[in-house]
Amino acid sequence: MPYIGRMTYPISDHYNGTHFFNPEPTIRAAPAGENQRRGFASFLFARLRRDPNIWTAWPEHIENQPYPAPTGPAPTVTFIGHSSFLLRLPGLTILTDPVFSKRCSPTQLAGPSRVRAPGIALADLPPIDLILLSHNHYDHMDLISLRQLRRRFPKVAIVTSLGNAPYLAKQRLAGAAELDWWQTHHHGETSITATPARHFAARWLNDRNKTLWCGFMLEHRGQKLYFAGDTGYTKFFKEINARLGAPDLALLPIGAYEPRWFMGPVHMNPADAVQAFQDLAAKSAIGMHWGTFQLTGEAYDAPLRDLATARAAAGLAETAFTTLDFGETRQF
């Protein structure tokens, strides 16, 4: 079915009256011999291509190590997989971009398939109060998971970026609050501010950038938590710090970054993520968007190795910017 994209919003530095856009360039010159086209088909081609010189054979399945259910005093963060985290704050439980389905695709019959099961099964989740939904890509907006969550937790609130609420309502997910960049929504005592990201939106061939993409800064009982969503490196990281302050914890994407000429403007690599961490002046960071779905050409474990290299080059302690295993919980 067509994506709902007929809403109009105030003209801004990222909306021209019909489509959203990035204030920073998202096009880089292709190296010799590469396809210069930038349409949706070429994007899918770049996502699925493999370079035999750097690619580690993609595993069909990796067994998760068992971890105890997240308990103890909040706040805690649990890695479910890809960009999905369970966040337990005092009096508030949150999911970020929840994807529990086997595939991140228009159909569960084809498309990128999980190699790691969710670190926590959807059926084992504690009661969820709030879902943060950064944008409409299939590896972030999974309608199957969202419907299951709404059935289990009928009162769960959804906060997303501009243009997504009408579509979600058509998908039996009514009531989402949608935000423009720098707008703030209050959920009880929690403030949620949508932050700029350098990315794009599309679910179909004819709806590119008719909805917005964003990250989120949460402030809850004196603590700040930043969820970047999906983004390339952007000048806005410094502005986020200047406007909203330094987060106690930043969740930053570190995967799906090759080839750089194509993916670099919209997906950070670990070196970009370390720079973002420094721009934000975050107290600590956890890497995400890796090790779950095959989306691009880097090896399965490349994000972890490249993060270690980038962290060492920046003189950061391993504990400052790390990753969690699937299902692992950490207090912050």
The model's pLDDT over 294-307, given as tens digits with 9 standing for 90+, comes to: 888 898 999 999 99
Global pTM? 0.93
| Mean pLDDT of all residues in 303-322 | 98
- Position 187 in a domain: yes
Q: Pairing state of beta strands 130-133 and 157-161?
A: parallel
Of residues 332, 237, 319, 216, the one with CA closest to residue 279: 237
Q: What is the mean pLDDT of the chain?
A: 91
- Position 8 in a domain: no
The model's pLDDT over 91-116, given as tens digits with 9 standing for 90+, comes to: 999 999 999 999 998 888 887 889 99
- Position 102 in a domain: yes
Confirm if 319 and 284 have CB atoms less than 8 A apart. yes
- Position 273 in a domain: yes
The model's pLDDT over 179-221, given as tens digits with 9 standing for 90+, comes to: 999 999 999 999 999 999 999 999 988 899 999 999 999 999 9
In which band, very low, low, confident or very high, does the pLDDT at 35 lie, cut at 50, 70 and 90? low
- Position 287 in a domain: yes
User: What whole-number distance in Å separates Cα of residue 280 and Cα of residue 332?
Assistant: 17
Distances (CA, A) of 188 to 14, 50, 150, 219, 225: 29, 46, 19, 11, 16
Enumerate long-range contacts of 154-159, CB under 8 Å, 24 or more apart: 155/129, 156/128, 156/129, 156/130, 156/131, 157/129, 157/130, 157/131, 157/187, 158/130, 158/131, 158/133, 159/130, 159/131, 159/132, 159/133, 159/185, 159/187, 159/192, 159/216
Q: Which residues pair with 12 in a beta bridge?
A: 15
Domain region containing 64: 49-331
- Position 24 in a domain: no
Question: How many domains would you assign to the chain?
Answer: 1
What local confidence, expressed as pLDDT, does residue 107 receive? 87
- Position 9 in a domain: no
What local confidence, expressed as pLDDT, does residue 40 receive? 46
CATH value at residue 143: 3.60.15.10
| Mean pLDDT of all residues in 223-236 | 98
